Amino acid sequence: MLRTKIAVFVSGGGTNLQALIDAEKRGEIPSGKIALVLSSNDKAYALTRAKKNDIPSVVVKRKEFPSQKEYEQRMKAILEENGIEMVVLAGFMALLSEDFTGLYPKRIVNIHPSLIPAFCGKGFYGLYVHEAALEYGVKVTGATVHYVNEIPDGGEIILQKAVAVLDGDTPEVLQKRVMEEAEWVLLPKAVEMVARRLQKGN
C-alpha cells in the first residue's frame, strides 16, 4: 500500500523534524513518508537535517510575497507538485490563514509544548510557553499534538503527554525535558495515526 506523503514545515533547528526522521527509520511511521521539508527561513538548520537524510527541501519566505494569499498559493502549489497529502508543523513560525488550513481539514498537525488549553494561543511559542508555566507555578506541563485550524492552537487534540515540572527548573531545562519526554514521543505516534487514517481514505 502506498504511504501517505508528508511535508514537514519548519523555521529553525528542526529537532522535531529529526525526531520524525529517526522514528521513520526505526519503522515507527509505516503508513507515512516524509517526502518534503518546507522552511520559512533559508538559514534553518532543519534544511541541513533534510539534506543529510536525502529529503527534498524548499524555502518559501513570507516577505518575498506581496500578500498572505500569494504566499499561501505558492505553498499550496509546492504541496500539489510533490503530491503531499499531510502537513506537520514542527516549529513553523509563519502564520497560516483559514484559506490555507481549510484546504487540508484534519490533514495539518502541530505540536505545542504545553497541555492545551493551558499556555497556548497567540504569543505562546518556544521558550515563552515554558516561562509562562514556571511563572504560574504549575507542577505538571507537557505537550499536545493537535489538528490545525484557523484558531492558533485551537484545533482538535490528537494526543497529549504530561511532564513533571521540577524544583529549580529554568525555561531552558523544562523545554528540553518536554521535548525529550513528550514532543519526540508524541509527534511520531500522532503522525502515524493520521497517516494511517489518510492511507485508508478516511
How far is the C-alpha of 108 from the C-alpha of 79, rounded, in Å?
12
Determine the pLDDT at residue 202. Answer: 65
Residue positions annotated with a catalytic role: 112
pTM value? 0.94
CATH of the domain spanning 4-199:
3.40.50.170
- 179-190: burial string, b at 16+ Cβ within 10 Å, e else: bebbbbbbbbbb
Residue with cell 510557553: 129
Residue labelled with grid coordinates 494561543: 121
User: Rounded mean pLDDT of 109-134?
Assistant: 94
**pLDDT digits over 140-177, tens only?**
999 999 999 988 899 999 999 999 999 999 999 999 99
